[in-house]
A and B are shown apart, each in its own frame.
Chain A
Amino acid sequence: MSLNSWGMYPQIDNKKITLKTPKQIKAFIDANKEIIPYGNGRSYGDSALNTNIIYTKPYNSFLSFDDKKGILHIQTGVLLSEIIESYLPRGWFLKVTPGTKLITIGGAIASDIHGKNHHVEGCFSECVEEFKLQLPSGEIKSCKKGDELFLATCGGMGLTGVILDAKISLKKVSSQFINQTTIKTKNLQETFEAFEEYKELPYSVAWIDCLASGENIGKCLLMVGDFCDDGKLKYKEKNRLNIPFNFPSFALNNLSVRAFNWLYYNKAPNGVSKQKVGIDSFFYPLDSIKNWNRIYGKNGFTQYQFILPKEKSYDGLKEILQTISGSGKGSFLAVLKLYGKANKNYLSFPKEGYSLALDFKIEDGVFELLDALDKIVLKYEGRIYLTKDVRVSKDTFETGYEDIEIFRNLRKKYKMDEKFNSVQSKRLGL
């Protein structure tokens, strides 16, 4: 059985070995040329795919916890959900979490993921104190903040070797609830103003109706918030709905997207409203539906996520939203987010500005549309997020990442390029 990524596209035949001990991984590295680590397959594209896969999720022991400093030492396959389950009831939470908790520590480091609080806390690598990395030679190195292997591996998409275990720092919280404020806006101008107005709050994200056109382009629901202070830490995950099979492809046409967006947008009260919500519905709304990726049908889907520098964001987003709404190809969800400063990692995605993420079903005409969007992204000096990507061209990619040559040289120096490759890294010459 071959492993897929979350977008279910492309499907690559692969052989997997389960990470049990570094020693057995060394034998696998010695015997094979094309290898890539794989966590829980929540990356959308082809970054965790190749003919040989090191499956790391079962390598998931908790090793120690320093409750004075809040530093947790775990193996690479531990899911964020496992950490939350164990530590939220004890008053600790992740400093940085993406929109799903079903990802591994390895995946979080390799994508240097960001959350709704990027403008305050930065990327996941900020909370990584150190990790162990198994190099192509089989040697195991401890990497600390500032080391070149640290800078390359955080955001390095598994291309520097296998991350074996990591020490991450957690933050103290005193509730499993979030005080959320929802702001409904009418257009992009209002959306930008609302982001600025609420930027002191640690968490923020906007759902954009990307099929709106004309005057209404950029209308959104902006959700901002912070942890409550009510001492209620008892945390139990709700039962999850399951989508048991792939939806037929006609189920998700333009009309159903419109209907969804309309419902979503209209269920929220006008103006500004306040709610108290659990962490699962605030951070992980999609996790409550198991296998939701199947609603896009068996041909799969992709997520297009780009970021633009702050001063160019308004014009760039406007042009992109116009192009999308003109194309009639709609995204089930379009997420807009304000980011803080970039870090020093060679390939980390975030930089100061706005990013938009949209899902597209794989169908005729989609790649042409995305190529057209790429041009706009480049025109406004933006870049594309590797962990979501499955199709960007080498030129477009390179233009966005200034440190790409440093990364390539480091790969050569450690002979990483001779062993660790993904379908994506070969397409992009990483």
Chain B
Amino acid sequence: MSYVFIVGAKSDIAKEVARVYAKNGYNLYLSARDTSELEELATDIQVRSGVEVKLVELDVTKYKTHEKIYEDLEEKPLGVIYVAGFMADQDEAQEDWSKSLNTINVNYTGAVSFLNIVANDFEKQRRGFIVGVSSVAGDRGRKTNYIYGSAKAAFSTYLSGMRNRLHEAGVSVLTVKPGFVATKMTEGLDLPEKLTAQPQEVADDIFSAQQSGHNTLYTKWMWRYIMLIIKHIPEFIFKKMSI
């Protein structure tokens, strides 16, 4: 059975994505900077689903290593899912350049570096799928998190261009835009219940959108309409707002 490669497998969303693909019979490459943190998940998935799980050490910000890591994979994956993400607090990122840079690198530059390699391979093989987990925060810059948002905006644009390019080769590209998700990152925040997705819901949505070849996925679905409205608020009003 084919392998799916998950970049940034440590997060709550990634863990559920990995479980869903395994449940549906895919073998997995799980990657993170420190793979010892993935051992429990790998065991979990093997005991649950009986698929093959391999761990790959990958730091998305160490661009020079990417080519070799991909080449060394014994079996090339059928799909790659980029879940790695980093959200620095806006105030801290404003003050501290290293935080801004890390936000940009994890959410955007690292993705471009790794996915370029993947895209070239998939295009040559004329098969495969790429999924990028971006964010609704990239749909419009807001004062409360525009550094993170702008990196996600760049990532979304990158994915849409790649979709355009790879379509002809029969390679699908899915852009995922989660709204609020109940994860470690958001624990303690008071999020509106109806708009907050569970990681498992997000993962199920991703699996079915990817399998049916969709282009963009908002999860939960209401976010598509919420962001549609937010995107269309005229700038002269928007700049006075605090949302």
Contacts and interface: CB of A to CB of B under 8 A. Distances in A.
Interface of A: 1, 18, 61-65, 72, 82, 85-86, 90
Given A1-B193, A18-B187, A85-B23, A62 B47 contact: yes
Given A86-B49, A90-B50, A64 B187 contact: no
Nearest to A64: B47
Interface in B30-66: 40-41, 43-45, 47-50
Contacts of A1: 190, 193
A62 B44 contact: yes
Nearest to A86: B48
B181 to A, nearest CB: 13
Contacts of B44: 61-63
Given A18-B187, A85-B23, A63 B50 contact: no
Interface of B: 23, 40-41, 43-45, 47-50, 187, 190, 193
B43 A64 contact: yes
5 contacts: A1-B190, A18-B187, A61-B41, A62-B44, A62-B48
Contact of A63 (B47, B49, B190): B47
Contacts of B48: 62, 82, 86
Contacts of B23: 85-86
A124 B23 CA distance: 26
A90 B44 CA distance: 16
A82 B19 CA distance: 11
A85 B204 CA distance: 15
Nearest to B192: A1
Nearest to B49: A86
A60 to B, nearest CB: 8
Nearest to A60: B44
B43 A63 contact: yes
A410 B43 CA distance: 36
Contacts of B45: 62
A90 B48 CA distance: 11
Contacts of B50: 90
A61 B46 CA distance: 11
Nearest to A74: B47
Contacts of B193: 1
Nearest to B191: A1
A65 B47 contact: yes
A63 B187 CA distance: 25
Contacts of A62: 43-45, 47-48
Q: Which of B23, B40, B43, B48 has the largest count of A CB atoms less than 10 A from its CB?
A: B48
By Cβ-Cβ distance, the 5 closest A-B pairs, closest first, are A62-B47, A61-B44, A86-B48, A62-B48, A62-B44
Given A82-B48, A85-B23, A61 B43 contact: yes
A63 B48 CA distance: 9
B40 A61 contact: yes
A1 B195 CA distance: 13
Q: Which of A62, A64, A90 has the largest count of B CB atoms less than 10 A from its CB?
A: A62
A3 B41 CA distance: 27
A24 to B, nearest CB: 12
A64 B47 CA distance: 6
Contacts of A64: 43, 47
Contacts of A82: 48
A351 B43 CA distance: 39
A72 B44 CA distance: 12
A18 B49 CA distance: 25
